Structure 1
Amino acid sequence: MSLRPTLETRRAQPTLEGAGVKLHRAFGFQDPSELDPFLLFDDFRNERPQDYLRGFPWHPHRGIETITYVLAGTVEHGDSLGNTGLLGAGDVQWMTAGSGILHQEMPQGNAKGQMHGFQLWGNLPSAQKMTAPRYQDVQAKEIPEIIDDDGTRVRVIVGEFWGKTGPVDGIAADPQYLDVSLPAGVKKTFRIDTYRRAFAYVFEGAAAFADASKPAGVLLEKEVAGEEVNIRDLSGDRTLIRFGTGDEITVQAGPEGARFLLISGAPINEPVAWHGPIVMNTKAELMQAMTELRNGTFIKPAH
């Protein structure tokens, strides 16, 4: 087994999106090869309705898949194909934009006005960029949750983990998307297929990720000696950890426990031409999409 090195640890940055929604962006609109096949990751979390109620009005997508995971509040969605729905706490929507779709997403807070969710963009390979759009709406009760003896809890949203398989399937990037909760001080090792790109995103508590580029077992030695992990070793709320190549990661929760997403996928390794919500392989394909948006031919008839 080989421990993945930590290539980068960075905080998500405040960003305005949609019609003025305040959110934090962990990555996106920079180097798309860093986390290929993933393009963008947003954490939209608010307790002030005026910061999110204007939502994400009608906008196009082509050439990507969007994964929306709601933790608190609801998101009402509708699209140019006539689909409508409501995502609640714990629900997931995986939208394959394919050849093109117009949709809107309007968040609503819970009874306390709180709204929290994530959106991840996955790229589509050239052979699937113009496929027919489709949705997978998954309710919270359909997502398997594993509880280990030490209190570790893992929701398996996509992919296979510890003998359970997530309900979302047929995704181009063959991803694994896990929601992991660790009790205080618990240390855990997670296997990740070597060929995948991988990242973690901490959103509750704090955790220390062992780094293969540093002396092995620094965190573990501290734990064995009964010492608390130095707070400087911990990655706290809204922190992205980008991993290098290897087949496992080791993480230890801080004194208040930790909750993080662990996401990996197979890189596509193709050129990326990107303009806003449209991601193709060439500038010519981008220009074609813009022309079709202007002349009303962007949405393709169902076959």
Structure 2
Amino acid sequence: MRVINQFPARPAMDGDGVNIRRVADFDNTKFDPFLMLDEIKSDDKQDFIGGFPPHPHRGIETFTYIRKGGFEHRDQLGNVKAIRAKDVQWMSTGSGVIHSEMPLADADEGLHGFQIWVNMPANQKMRPARYEDSSNTTNPESTNDKGAVLRALAGNWAFAGQTSISAPIQDLAGKAAIADLMLSPDAVAELQLGRHEFVGLYLYEGTLIDKSHHDQDSHKHIDKSYAAGQYLILDSQELLELKAGADGAGLLLLAGQPIKEKIVHMGPFVMNTQAEIKQAVEDYQGGRFGQIPL
């Protein structure tokens, strides 16, 4: 693989005091069509017990994936769903959503999950909201003979000789596709993702070894390792060759087509002009987003 750029996740806090690690680019130049990735990972309830009380969104898609524990989702559309381990949830917020995400009372084993923000094209930002989740189905998995398992979370993937692995969630903005790739110790995986203009990965556990790294000083190929908490932007046109370290590795793969539009960001709103942001604030404050049913 050829790493174009590398970004460390930074400690942050959101919701009602929830501790997270975040990688974000609201200049919309590095991760397009993606905007942000948040990771929650803790066995201490105090890090996440406050959850995310009711809050609005406009102009983005939020994609949530849970690996351990869970949240209860509620929104003004009337959706009330428990999102547990291996589940994903997609909200194409469009013109507006108000939702809450609160830790499940029976999730005593800790919490590990992700929320990814995807930008929406200008001509779709004010369409009606859409909601889907995978709680009533299964995200398909494919295993190679070298210790790697790919779980398709959104879009379509090809892995381990299978030409198409289709996740239940489709139609993300920017033709975005998301997968969880789990590597056992010293496992190897190869993917060809040349149909996507953007490819990135977020390493959430273990160690990843890049055996094709070229040292500019010595002009030799040397092994370079990446630790958990790193977000790598990759050359999508090169074969993606991944090797785990002795402790294995877990990573999210993110792929898509850049939307290439200027954006303006303020809190939960991502639009294309300051006037549209001002209108979003006025609509929310004026109660035009609706409210979550009791």
If the length of structure 1 is used for normalisation, what is the TM-score?
0.87
Give the match for residue 86 of structure 2: 90
Identify unmatched segments of 5+ residues in structure 1: 220-228
For the pair 1:60 / 2:52, whether they are aligned, the reply is no
Give distance in 1, aligned partners of 2:132 and 2:275.
30
For the pair 1:105 / 2:101, whether they are aligned, the reply is yes
Name the aligned partner's letter for residue 13 of structure 1.
Answer: R
Report the alpha carbon displacement of residue 8 of structure 1 after superposing the two structures with TM: 2.3
Report the alpha carbon displacement of residue 214 of structure 1 after superposing the two structures with TM: 4.9
- Are the structure 2 counterparts of residues 246 and 19 from structure 1 closer, same or farther at C-alpha, using a change threshold of 3 Å? same
Name the aligned partner's letter for residue 279 of structure 2.
Answer: Q
Name the aligned partner's letter for residue 270 of structure 1.
Answer: E
Give distance in 1, aligned partners of 2:268 and 2:167.
27
> Could you say what secondary structure the match of 2:174 adopts?
coil
Give distance in 1, aligned partners of 2:112 and 2:136.
15
Give the match for residue 187 of structure 2: 186
Give distance in 2, aligned partners of 1:91 and 1:182.
20
- Are the structure 2 counterparts of residues 242 and 190 from structure 1 closer, same or farther at C-alpha, using a change threshold of 3 Å? same
Give distance in 1, aligned partners of 2:105 and 2:40.
12
CA RMSD of aligned residues (A): 2.2
Choose from 3, 14, 18 the match for 1:17.
14
Q: In the TM superposition, what are the counterparts of 1:125-164 in structure 2 within 5 Å?
A: 125-139=121-135, 141-162=137-158, 163-164=164-165
Identify unmatched segments of 5+ residues in structure 2: 159-163
Q: In the TM superposition, what are the counterparts of 1:1-303 in structure 2 within 5 Å?
A: 3=1, 5-25=2-22, 27-28=23-24, 30-108=26-104, 112-139=108-135, 141-162=137-158, 163-210=164-211, 214=215, 218=221, 233-299=224-290
> Could you say what secondary structure the match of 1:293 adopts?
helix
Kept in 2, the 8 Å contact 1:6–1:211? The answer is: no
Report the alpha carbon displacement of residue 140 of structure 1 after superposing the two structures with TM: 7.9
Residue-pair matches, total: 284
Kept in 2, the 8 Å contact 1:49–1:109? The answer is: no
Segment of structure 1 superposing worse, 79-88 or 138-147: 138-147
If the length of structure 2 is used for normalisation, what is the TM-score?
0.89
Kept in 2, the 8 Å contact 1:94–1:168? The answer is: yes
Name the aligned partner's letter for residue 283 of structure 1.
Answer: Q
Give distance in 2, aligned partners of 1:217 and 1:264.
29
Report the alpha carbon displacement of residue 51 of structure 1 after superposing the two structures with TM: 1.4
> Could you say what secondary structure the match of 2:21 adopts?
strand
